[in-house]
Amino acid sequence: MPIGGTEELSRRQGHPLDRITPNKIKKLIIVRIVTTVHLLRATLLEESREVPDSTERTQETRPTEDHMEFCFAFREQCAWYMEEEFVKLSVKRGIHTILGPRTMSAFDRLQMAMDSVSWCLYWEKRHEFNSFLTWQADLIRYLVGWLTQEEENEFQTLCNAFYVDMNSKNKHKSQNVRTSKALSGRLRHSNKRHLFSTSGTMNLGTAFSELESDSPLRTRMSPRDFAALLLSNDKQRFKIEIIVHWEWKPFPYPPTQPWEMRIGAFQGRSNEVVNPYEVHDALTFEETMCLGWIFHVTHASNRQSIERYGLVRMQEVTEDEILYILCT
C-alpha cells in the first residue's frame, strides 16, 4: 500500500469523474438516448404486434393500421429463416444494398426488411396488399438469398439456364436479352433525369413503366425469373437499392410501403463493382488534347439520344466538364 493510503492515491491520480470531458458527456447522452429509443420501439412493437380481430377491422380503423408493427418477428415463422444457418448459397449475389433512414440502425434495417418481406408473402390475408408489393417481396427474397436449400438449388439451375440463354449464338432471339437490353438502355440513356436519384437509380415500378411492352410484368416474368436475369448478367450491369421505411400503412390514401425498390445500371463494360457516377477524374484541356480520337461504341438505336443529350451520367453536368466526340 503506498504512503498516505487510498485517499493520498486518489488525490495523486485524480478522481475518475474529473477526467470526464464535455465531449465524453455528450457521447454518453447520445448513446443513452439512442439505446432508449430502440428499447422503446422494441417494447411498443412487442405489445402491438397482434392483428385486430376481423370484427374490429373496419373501413375507419384499417387506414390507421401500421403493418410494420403487426409483422414484428414474423420472419421466425418462415421455413427459410429456420434453415438460414444451414443453407449453402450457390448463386453469387451482391448487386443489392439495403438502406434506410439515418435514424434506423443497420440491425433494424435488416430485421424489418425480413419481417415485412415475410409478412407480404406468408400472412394469411396477404391478398389485401397490392400485387406488385408481393411481387417485389419475392424478388427481394431471391436477390438477398432468404431461401430454403431446395429453393436455392432450383434457383441456381435457373440462373445457369438464363446465363446460357443470354450468351448463346441465338441470344438475339431471347426475350431475356431483349428485356435486359431495354432496361439497360432506359437506365443509361434516358433523358428524364427527374426520375433518377443522385445515385443514378430509378424507382422499380417507374422503370417497368418506361419499358412498356418489354416490362417483366407485361411479359409475365416471375420475381424469381427477374432475379435470375439480373444476377446472370455477365457484365454486372445492374444494381438494386432496397430502402426500408419505419412505417407501413397500406390502406390510407396515399398508402405507404414497407420499402422502396430502386434500380440502376452501371456505365461501361467493366465488371468492377464501383459507382460510375462518382468515380471519375476531371481532365485539363491539355490532357484532353493528348488523348487523340475518342470512340464510344454502342447500339445504333441509341444514336439519336446520344446526339441530342450526350452520354447521360445521371447527374447534372456542364458542357465544360466532359468532352464527347461522336464519330459517325
Q: Is 114 exposed, middle or buried (0-12, 13-18, 19+ CB in 10 A)?
A: buried
The count of other CB atoms within 10 Å of the CB of residue 264 is 24
Count of structural domains, the chain: 3
Residue 53 belongs to a domain: no
- Which pLDDT does position 143 carry in this prediction? 95
Identify whether residues 152 and 284 lie together within a single domain: no
Identify whether residues 112 and 15 lie together within a single domain: no
152 Cβ contact list (under 8 Å, min separation 6): 87, 88, 89, 90, 91, 145
Write the pLDDT tens digit of every residue in 135-157.
Answer: 999 999 999 999 999 999 999 99
Write the pLDDT tens digit of every residue in 65-116.
Answer: 999 999 999 999 999 999 988 899 999 898 999 999 888 888 889 999 999 9
Residue 69 CA to residue 55 CA, distance in Å, equals 19
Cell numbers 444514336 correspond to 303
Identify whether residues 192 and 262 lie together within a single domain: yes
Give yes or no for residue 313 having a pLDDT over 70. Answer: no
Identify whether residues 98 and 200 lie together within a single domain: yes
- Which pLDDT does position 108 carry in this prediction? 87
Please state the φ and ψ torsions of residue 207, each to the nearest 5 degrees: -60, -40
Q: Is 16 exposed, middle or buried (0-12, 13-18, 19+ CB in 10 A)?
A: exposed
At residue 114, the 3 state secondary structure works out as helix
Residue 178 belongs to a domain: yes
Expressed as residue numbers, the domain containing 319 is 280-328
Per cent of the chain over pLDDT 70 is: 72
Write the pLDDT tens digit of every residue in 181-210.
Answer: 899 888 888 888 889 988 889 999 999 999
Residue 314 CA to residue 309 CA, distance in Å, equals 11
Give yes or no for residue 328 having a pLDDT over 50. Answer: no
Write the pLDDT tens digit of every residue in 253-263.
Answer: 889 999 999 99
Please report, for residues 99, 103, 228, 258, 328, the alpha-carbon distance to residue 106 in angstroms, rounded to integers and kept in the order given.
8, 10, 26, 16, 50
Q: Is 200 exposed, middle or buried (0-12, 13-18, 19+ CB in 10 A)?
A: buried
Question: What's the average model confidence in pLDDT over 6-10?
Answer: 45
Identify whether residues 285 and 262 lie together within a single domain: no
CB 190 within 8 A of CB 263: no
